Structure formats: structure tokens, C-alpha cells
Structure 1
Amino acid sequence: MDQHTPPATQFGALPFRETRGGEVEFLLITSRGSGQWIIPKGKPIPDLTPQETAAREAFEEAGILGEVDPHPIGRFAYVKDQGQPTAQFIPAVEVFALRVTQQLTLWPEMGQRSMVWLTPEQALHAIEIESLRKIVRRFANRFPKAR
């Protein structure tokens, strides 16, 4: 890809689970470059739909499996590897909700990132990308106890 060709849309998963008390929690991971708290995401994967790509990225980056919603819940843009000489603007990450049903003990990128389950309030505090915070806030409001 030359410097005049914009990067393609990426696909991301917003991993969530409901607690026994009916509250929602989100799984966030750190990016490998900047270490900021984000969601699993990546470039399109041939022969996979956007939501399947999002689910695959969640498996590879965080070791989670689940039910992915086929309809996107939002889009955000970000600067990849911010502050690095190779930083690039990613114009869009299409986000799909992923209800986590299984958390694995081994996965492809294990040990390359940190990850944590957070309440909506904690997640909103941890996420630096404002447009991603808006998606998390809007999605959390679907759960009565998150309001």
C-alpha cells in the first residue's frame, strides 16, 4: 500500500458479559504499540464476514469466544501507534457486540497484551478514544443496571 492509499476499514469486537446481578462488564485489551486500552480489532480477513473477522480478532488477541451480533453497533477512527514514527490514521473501525461465552487459557497472542474486565464506568474511564467511549456508553445503556 503506498502512502496515498487510505487503509481499509477494520473490524472490532466489543466483548461483554452480564453478571449474575444483571450488570454488564466489558473486556478491554491493551494495544501492542501504545499500550492504551482498546477493543480487539483488525484488518478484513479473506472469506470472513465483517462480524466473523471481529470475532476472530477477539479470539486471537484476547482468547475469547462468543456470539457476535451481525449488525454493527458503531464506528470509530484512531491513530495506530500514536507517537511512533510509523503512526498511521485508521479512518474507521466497524464495531460488533460480542457476548462472551468462553474465555480460553491459551490463544495466539497470549502474553502480548494485558486485558481486564471492567464495569461500564471503569471502561469509560480507561478508554482514551472518545468515539469508542461513545459506542461503549450507548451500548451499556441497553442494560438497565448500567444506567
Structure 2
Amino acid sequence: MDQAHGRRKSRHIGSIDSLLAGSNQLGSTAAHHKSPSYRMPRTPKEEFSQVAALPFRIKDGRIEVLLVTSRETRRWLIPKGWPMKGKKPYKAAEQEAAEEAGVKGEIKQEPLGFYDYWKRRSKHFDLCRVEVYPLEVSKQLESWREKGQRQTQWFEVEEAAHQVLEPALAELIRSLPARV
């Protein structure tokens, strides 16, 4: 395990073409194309692990979720990052929310759940499992570490679920009202 980034070693299996073809070995397609490759974990213990905060507030009796954009693709997601050495996972998620979204509040110590996504690298993708911790926002900062690098926006629960690409993350967002 790479302690600096909370990553576990994973196995390279080939290109997107071989993945979509159902192959778990390098296929002839991978040898001829320069498409990004994917790294699939052999076992759940080999996946890359991240932590995330699901920032929310209650406004006029309705729950709203704060989403941020990714720096590269500008798609909507929740603040997330690698586990931090010496910090409990929920504390690392809380720090990610402050750095990426400029919010502070009360974070739950137990995760709401998890979702998986493909992390884009320069020449391949890695499968990451993200543990999600609800964060009830009590303060929005005037400035924060990544303020100029990302957009932030409050959405009602269903709209936030529609904005994210990962179906499992959308379901976690939809499950929030029953859990707070």
C-alpha cells in the first residue's frame, strides 16, 4: 500500500477496448491503439481508496447538497481526496471539503456509504472506491485553497443526484434525507 496516497497496488489489464470486450488480458487491440488503459483490482483489498464529504444544509425545511466541479473535466462531484496519514477517514474528508469547497461544519464519523469511479490518469484509469461522509455545513469561507480552481453550487437533492455521473453516488445523495 502506498501510504502517502492511501493507494493499494493494482493490476494493469489493458485498454478500454479489451475491457469493453470482456477481456481481462492485454488484447491485440491494446497493442495497436494508444487509448487509455484501465487498472482493475484483483481483489477488493487492492483497490484505490479515497474519502469524500457530502456537504449539505437545510434551507427553508429542504435539504440542499453542495457540489464542486473537478479541476480537469469540470464535471460535478463532491469534495474528495486520498486518506491522510495520521487522520481518521472522516477527518480527511472534512479537510477535503474545506480545501475544495470552502465549507466547514459537523461531519459524521460513520460513512453514508461508498461509490466506485474510474480515476483519470495521463495514460490509464484506476478504479477507486470512495467512502462518503455527510457534512452538515455551518460555515462557508470567504476564501479557501482551491477557490479559483473549482466552481461550487448548492442543489436540491434530486437535482444534485442528476448532476453527478456515478449512479452509486447519485443514490447516496438521494438517500441523504432519510439519514439526517
TM-score (norm 1): 0.87
| CA RMSD of superposed structures (Å) | 1.9
Please list every run of at least 4 consecutive aligned residues from structure 1 whose deviation after the TM superposition is greater than 4 angstroms. none
Q: How many residues are aligned here? A: 140
Distance 2:130 2:143 in 1: 26
Higher RCO structure (Cα 8 Å, ≥6 apart): 1
Alpha carbons 1:77, 1:89 under 8 Å: kept: no
CA deviations over 1:83-131 (Å, ceiling 9, x no partner): x643422331000000001100111111101110000121011111101
Unaligned segments of structure 2, at least 5 residues: 3-8, 12-40
What is the SS of the residue equivalent to 2:48?
A: coil
1:123 partnered with 2:160: yes
**Counterpart amino acid of 1:10?**
Q
Structure 2 Cα separation of the partners of residues 107 and 75 of structure 1: 26
How far apart are the structure 2 equivalents of 1:101 and 1:87? 38
Distance 2:123 2:99 in 1: 23
Paired residue for 1:54? 93
Note the alpha carbon deviations across 1:45-82, whole angstroms, 9 max, x for none: 1111000000000011011111000000010011123x
Aligned to 2:126: 89
Q: Answer with 1 or 2: which has the greater Rg.
A: 2
Identical-pair percentage: 37
